């Protein structure tokens, strides 16, 4: 029975949420092979490749998503993140600016006081959803608030924390990265950016962010705790990799060979009586 591309993408989203990125890649490659892949499928495939350490393949898929939908803001932002990780910072800046421009064009323009009022109402509604256990609805309300006021970094910070609670570390990293780029002195956002990197599986990126935070705010105990956590994890990995055979538990005894009897080494036959 043929499975529709939409159903395969839905299954891939489930694998992605479970951090089974290779499983998501397998399903999405099936969709791409049909020639009927849409922008969301290429975008998710690009993210999956990024998270398994294959940035060039990630860029190829994100480019394909943008060919199908040039106004795909998430694909623009994630492409910028991949370029930045590859050290192609100038290209990343172009992507960030393009994403901001697309967001601005898509957003209905209200006078600044009206936009701020509406954004705060969305944020209050989001807080009410959080209190009622509606985390996904709360995230949506904060996204609506930021569509009205993309420079309201206090609301973006709350959105990032909600995304972490929802297990969406990659999306949270995107939000905190936007804050840090706009306000480098917002060290609370920088510390959370490190946490989002860590939860997304980027330990090296988390270390770089937290060490920069420690240099600028050496008295922050939270940053020290994060770095200590990384050190413990590194030590555990080294201990596992360098364990000597003597320190490992002995293997279970081998079963006797077929035909062996108790007290007779090698299982030899008994001498017949004369």
pLDDT digits (tens, 9 = 90+) for 170-182: 999 999 999 998 8
| DSSP states along 149-201 | -TT-HHHHHHHHHHHHHTT-HHHHHHHHHHHHHH-TT-HHHHHHHHHHHHHTT
Higher pLDDT, 161 or 222: 161
CATH architecture of 5-106: Alpha Horseshoe (1.25)
Per-residue model confidence as pLDDT tens digits over 105-151: 555 566 777 888 888 999 999 999 998 889 999 999 999 898 888 88
pLDDT bin (cut points 50, 70, 90) of residue 267 is very low
**Cα dihedral 252, 255, 261, 266 sign:** negative
Q: What pLDDT score does 245 carry? A: 53
Residue 1 has what pLDDT? 43
Mean pLDDT of 251-271: 48
What is the C-alpha separation between 86 and 79, in angstroms, rounded? 11
pLDDT over 70 (residue 42): yes
Query: pLDDT value at position 209?
Result: 92
Encoding tokens for residue 182? 């706009």
- In angstroms, rounded to a whole number, what is the distance separating the alpha carbons of residues 45 and 15? 12
Structural element, H or E, at residue 146: helix 135-148
């Amino acid at each position: 029975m043929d499975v529709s591309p939409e159903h395969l993408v839905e299954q891939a989203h489930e694998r992605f949420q479970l951090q089974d990125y290779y499983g998501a890649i397998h399903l999405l490659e099936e969709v791409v092979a049909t020639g009927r892949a849409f922008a969301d499928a290429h975008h998710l495939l690009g993210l999956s490749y990024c998270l398994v350490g294959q940035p060039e393949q990630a860029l190829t898929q994100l480019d394909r998503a943008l060919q199908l939908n040039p106004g795909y803001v998430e694909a623009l932002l994630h492409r910028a993140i991949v370029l930045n990780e590859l050290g192609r910072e100038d290209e990343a800046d172009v992507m960030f600016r393009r994403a901001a421009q697309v967001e601005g064009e898509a957003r209905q323009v209200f006078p600044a006081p009206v936009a701020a009022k509406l954004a705060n109402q969305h944020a209050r509604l989001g807080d009410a959803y959080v209190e009622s256990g509606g985390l996904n609805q709360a995230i949506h309300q904060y996204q609506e608030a930021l569509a009205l006021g993309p420079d309201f970094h206090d609301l973006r910070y709350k959105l990032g924390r909600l995304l972490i609670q929802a297990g969406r570390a990659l999306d949270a990293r995107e939000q905190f990265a936007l804050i840090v780029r706009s306000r480098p002195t917002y060290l609370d956002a920088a510390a959370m950016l490190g946490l989002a990197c860590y939860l997304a599986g980027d330990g090296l990126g988390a270390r770089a962010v937290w060490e920069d935070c420690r240099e600028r705010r050496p008295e922050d105990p939270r940053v020290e705790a994060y770095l200590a956590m990384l050190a413990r994890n590194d030590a555990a990995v080294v201990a596992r990799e360098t364990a000597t055979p003597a320190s490992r538990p002995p293997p279970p005894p081998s079963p006797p060979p077929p035909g062996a009897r108790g007290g007779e080494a090698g299982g030899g036959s008994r001498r017949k009586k004369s």
